[in-house]
Amino acid sequence: MIYIFSAVAVVAYWLYLGFRTVHFVHMLQLNSYRNERFFGWVKKNKIISFACIVPLISYIGLLLNAYWMLGALAVLYLLLPSVRDRRPKKKPFVNTARTKRLFFTLWVLSWIPCAAAIFRMELAPVAFVVFDCLLAFIVMLGNLLNQPIEKAVAGRYIRDAKNILKHSKKLTVIGITGSFGKTGTKHILHRILSQKFNVCMTPGSFNTPMGVVRTIRENLRATDEIFIAEMGAKNVGDIKEICDIVHPKHGMITAIGEQHLETFKSIENIIKTKWELADSVLAADGMLFVNGDNSYLADKDKKAITYGTDKKASFRAEDIQSGPEGQSFVFVTPDGASIRLQTKLLGRANVINITGCAALSYRMGVSLEQIAAAVRSLPPTQHRLELLRHDRYWVIDDAYNSNPQGAAMALEVLASFDMLRILVTPGMVELGEKQDELNFAFGAQAASAADIIILVGEKQAEPIAAGVRSKGFSEDKLHIVKTIGDAFTLLDKIAYEQEKKPVVLLENDLPDNYL
């Protein structure tokens, strides 16, 4: 009987460790497989579980011949949150070839406590406890050990992608970067340019070097005439790395703002990194389009073509009219041509993004009529000021990775609705030392745009709540809840009590590595 109970306990313990390992690898994946970023997550989060002492208790059970204790511990492991947690992830774990290689390395390392169990049975409980406590660091060790293999694999894929681009003689590459607005702008540009050209773009948020490489290898067709590459960055040199792969002919910088300060450390580093696209495009004698409404970009380089609502911009948006069903504005070119564009997209940010895409497309030979037709048919970009109908309320879904400028524009959209206005938000992350300051300012802005505010996450809520209270916001209209699920429960209760549908702004949704 002892062997049965022991076997069950061991299997349950390994199942528990397996789920914990997947969780840590998922967090490593969300931190771009960068050990220094993952270590930052480790420092901020509780990584040692009370379950790590269970092997010691099991050992005591064996000494006392308390076999029932082993069975009880096995059941306990199977009930632990790390095993039974089936909540949908905002950015789910993707089991790629890279993670499979990492899991193999971690499996090899896992035999260290097994060796202790084989050669010195009395050391086994201690070995398993130490292994469990150090699991996050063991994941980092496995990632470090795999680096030579990963560099070799990445190098082969990059060479393959470069070779494909080299033989695509008629292909024009357009790079898009910016602190925010990249993905939405990419989709807009793809829709407009597709009126005249065969266009391929990086899907979703594929904006890393390997994401761009994968798109080239798997999605680019011989008949494609334009390739739009979204370029993301969290460190100086990230954009240059992508540019050295795809060599963009033209480029667009959507905006520069205080985002990812946790890794960039300063706004100067952000500007330097985003301008790596400009350096590549201007060196190739291509066209560089920049957001003329952005203070960091407006006067950065005389060679850049500006767009926006500013009167000094080369391509301008004038006479903007907006409502719950969308917006319209007059698109004006430097040569005096103009046309009114109608779109379902909400917010001034989308007007600016459409203007930039229309400007680049116009310079590439797309007619004003074709631009108008494309803009009119633009679908809202998922989670980016997307207006959705709900049984009990309207939703302005702006849940994707908030930043100070984007959040302010989203609040402008919320304020434009003539109905009960509700804000649901966990605030902003990855802002480094300025995070509390910027969340305080966000709270102060929210106080004048929303009638009811629901803040998610007690530790995140403190600076936002302080900003809200600084404007004399009614305390009974300010709510702080633990989870997004609690927020929706409260939201349903509030909406149920209203005679007319309210409008709800969902501003930012914390990625799983910040929960």
Alpha-carbon gap, residue 137 to 391, rounded angstroms: 47
Alpha-carbon gap, residue 394 to 165, rounded angstroms: 45
pLDDT reported for residue 514: 46
Please state whether the predicted TM-score (pTM) of the whole model is above 0.85: no
Phi then psi for residue 203, to 5 deg, are -80, 160
Beta strand 394-398 with 386-389 is: antiparallel
Residues 341 and 451 in one domain: no
Alpha-carbon gap, residue 147 to 197, rounded angstroms: 40
User: Quick check: is 154 in a domain?
Assistant: no
Residues 140 and 184 in one domain: no
Alpha-carbon gap, residue 404 to 466, rounded angstroms: 17
User: Quick check: is 156 in a domain?
Assistant: no
Q: 49-93: per-residue pLDDT in tens?
A: 555 555 555 555 555 555 555 555 555 555 555 544 555 566 778
Sign of CA dihedral 492, 494, 497, 503: negative
288 is in which domain, residue-wise? 161-376
Instruction: Count up the domains in the chain and report the number.
Output: 3
User: Quick check: is 91 in a domain?
Assistant: yes
The CATH number given to whatever domain includes residue 269 is 3.40.1190.10
Residues 103 and 220 in one domain: no
Residues 180 and 96 in one domain: no
Residues 315 and 181 in one domain: yes
User: Quick check: is 270 in a domain?
Assistant: yes
Name which of 407, 417, 409 is nearest 503 in CA terms: 417
Q: 457-498: per-residue pLDDT in tens?
A: 877 889 999 999 999 999 999 999 988 888 889 999 998 888
User: Quick check: is 250 in a domain?
Assistant: yes
Sign of CA dihedral 363, 366, 369, 375: negative
Residues 117 and 20 in one domain: yes
Residues 306 and 182 in one domain: yes
Residues 393 and 359 in one domain: no
Q: 215-237: per-residue pLDDT in tens?
A: 999 999 999 999 999 998 888 89
Residues 197 and 177 in one domain: yes
User: Quick check: is 79 in a domain?
Assistant: yes
Residues 108 and 222 in one domain: no
Residues 60 and 95 in one domain: yes
